[in-house]
Structure formats: structure tokens, C-alpha cells
Structure 1
């Protein structure tokens, strides 16, 4: 085995040449090696609390310290029964108009209804003369047996025609009906006097009165017409 060669020593010229070459060479940047951080495993179980060490002097002082006095409890008020409160009465507000405001106009006062006077009865002398035949009866209508609507229409038409003809005295037969004046058979006997006082016949009827016995008595009426 050959012995290793010994490195040859540089001459001055070689050293000078190497120094010039080294000036021309740009040194490489140092490589940075990143080291991974070490992970430390932490125990999730909380550490047991260390029992504080109490010196013997402090323990004796705590034993000799007087116990705190209990605080007396404050008395609690118990509410009593609530008394019933009467509801407040509504207050009426009166609104007054200002001095410069004009007064409200007064509501018009409606005139009181005054019914028209009923046609007066015939004079006693005139009735006697009619019953004795001294004054002629110029017209006659018999409503006996008709319904109210038919009787009313027939009566109005008859009186209008009689007045247009210039008649002054006519006889209207209603029928006596039964003994009870308010029975169904006495309807016309009760209704005809109201019709003669009505607004449609009042302008032409001057008066009426119960007829004499031989002209029908309680079942007939003498009617006096107004002059045209």
C-alpha cells in the first residue's frame, strides 16, 4: 500500500494567482434551514390545586379570632286585604265659547201639530127638515156588503161626483152591523166617519150626522157638502 501524498506547498506565484481568482468569485448565500417547532403535549386534566401551606402562627390566630355576630333579619311586611275602590265617575266637560266666537244658530222650532177640526154636525133645524122630507136628499149610496178598500173608493168617487153636480145633501148607508159595534159586520159603520174627516174628503165635506130612523138610523149618515 502506497503511503498518502503530502499536499504540496503553494509557491508565492500560486498563492498570488489564487488570491486574484478568489476576488472574482461571488460567494454563495448561506442556506437557511427551517427547523420544525417542537410540539409540547399539554395535559387537559386540570392540575390539582396546591394546598396552601398555613403557618402554625396563622392557624392559631384564626382559632382565637372571635366568631362574627349574626345579622338580625329585617321584618317583612305582610300586605293586608286590598280595599275595593269605587270606579271614578265620568267628569262632564263644559266647552265654553270664546268671547269673540259667534253664538251657534238656534235650532228651528217646529210648530206643534194641530189637527184639523172635525166637520161639525148638521144644524138641528136642517136635520129636522131633512127627516121630515122638507129638504130633499139629492144623492144616495149604499156601502153595505163591500170590503173596506172597495167602500172607501166608492165613497170618495160618489162624493166627488155629487159635489161636481151641485148637490148639497146626500145619504150614505153603512149598515148597522151586529150588536157589537166592534164586530166584523160593523167595520164600515166605524170607518166611514173617519174617512169623512180625512184629508182627501175634508175639502168637500161640510158636516155629517146620524140619519133618522126611517132613513136608516144608526146605519146611515146625512152628509152636507160644501158649495163649489
Structure 2
């Protein structure tokens, strides 16, 4: 569709020429086109500009998990002497990481719900990893060796307890005294539930 150009009357042209002479142009080359009719859009009044909508408020971030704290020295001494005991214990011996993780978080949630303050989590000590057993053909390691991943839970349970998922449940943890399992167990302090 072709746009029709609007022509100015002689009176409009005279008025335009008079106004154009009183204004200093930005560039001298623009004076050459004064006799040409102005496009209709240039003569229309400017449209009011709508203010930009305010940006939506940023979503509130959940508070950072509280830091882990060591077990108090007085309580630690009592545990070492046998004068204090844990209120519950969880044995993770022989479990896969997936099952152990589920049981650990469930156990800690129940302990928190029951108002417990100190529990023991038994991971097992593991042991030195021996050479892989070989298949009868001696070509590839035997992958179902039950001793191939000994000590995995002893390594990963402390890592799990440091995760944000556990921080609402755990105040702190450390290796248990020899009488409670030593290097194969952890004392875990349970955090009181937050008020809603």
C-alpha cells in the first residue's frame, strides 16, 4: 500500500519558512530541504510516555544455615569418662551410600522431633583397601568384591553432615571416644527445631 504525501498550502509553507529561519539548525546541510513537505508523523504531537513498570521485588532468600560448632569441652570430657551417654544410636555398617543417606537424615529428623540432644552415628572404621580380587582368567578385577570400598561411609558421613540439608538438624559433630566406637563413630549434636 502506497502512502499518500500531504502537501502544504502556500500559507503553511510561508509560515514554515519564517519559523525555520528563526531556528539555528544542527547541521547546515538540513537547510537545503526546507521547501520539501514534512512527513505527517513529524507534525503530530508527541505521545505521552508511560512510566516503566517497577521491577518485581526480589524473592526473599532463606537464611543461611547456621555454622557447625564443636562439642563443648565439658560434655566431651564426660563422654570420654563414660559419665555421659548418647540418647540414641544409628548403625550404618554395611549399607550402601544411598540407603545410609536416607536412614541418616530420617534418624536425625526423628531425634530432633523427639527433643534429643546427642546421638551416636556408627559408620564403621573400614580398613586398608587391599588389591582387587581377580577373576579366574586374571584379566579384569572382580567388581563384586565386598571389601573393595571399605571405609566409604566413614569418609562420606561427615561430608553429608556439613551439607545445608543437615544444618537445620545438626549443631556439630566429632569423632567418638574409644568406648563409643572411636574412629568408626561420630557424636552428633542435634539442633532444636526452629519455631514456626
TM-score normalised per structure 1: 0.47
Tell me the C-alpha RMSD between the 2 structures.
3.2
Q: For residue 13 of structure 1, what is the aligned residue in structure 2?
A: none
Partner residue of 2:163 out of 198, 211, 218: 198
Q: Is the 8 A contact 1:118 1:197 kept in 2?
A: no
Structure 2: runs of 5+ lacking an equivalent: 1-63, 130-147
Give the C-alpha shift of residue 197 in structure 1.
Answer: 1.1
TM-score normalised per structure 2: 0.54
Give the C-alpha shift of residue 117 in structure 1.
Answer: 6.4
Q: For residue 142 of structure 1, what is the aligned residue in structure 2?
A: 91
Q: Deviations over 1:39-63 (max 9, x none)?
A: xxxxxxxxxxxxxxxxxxxxxxxxx
Give the C-alpha shift of residue 136 in structure 1.
Answer: 2.5
Q: Is the 8 A contact 2:65 2:167 kept in 1?
A: no
Q: For residue 170 of structure 1, what is the aligned residue in structure 2?
A: 119
Q: Is the 8 A contact 2:174 2:187 kept in 1?
A: yes
Q: Give the number of the structure whose residues are more often helix, by fraction.
A: 2
Q: Deviations over 1:64-87 (max 9, x none)?
A: xxxxxxxxxxxxxxxxxxxxxxxx
Higher RCO (C-alpha under 8 Å, 6+ residues apart): 2
Could you tell me how far apart the structure 1 residues matched to 2:115 and 2:166 are?
16
Q: Deviations over 1:8-44 (max 9, x none)?
A: xxxxxxxxxxxxxxxxxxxxxxxxxxxxxxxxxxxxx
Larger radius of gyration between Structure 1 and Structure 2: 1
Q: For residue 75 of structure 1, what is the aligned residue in structure 2?
A: none
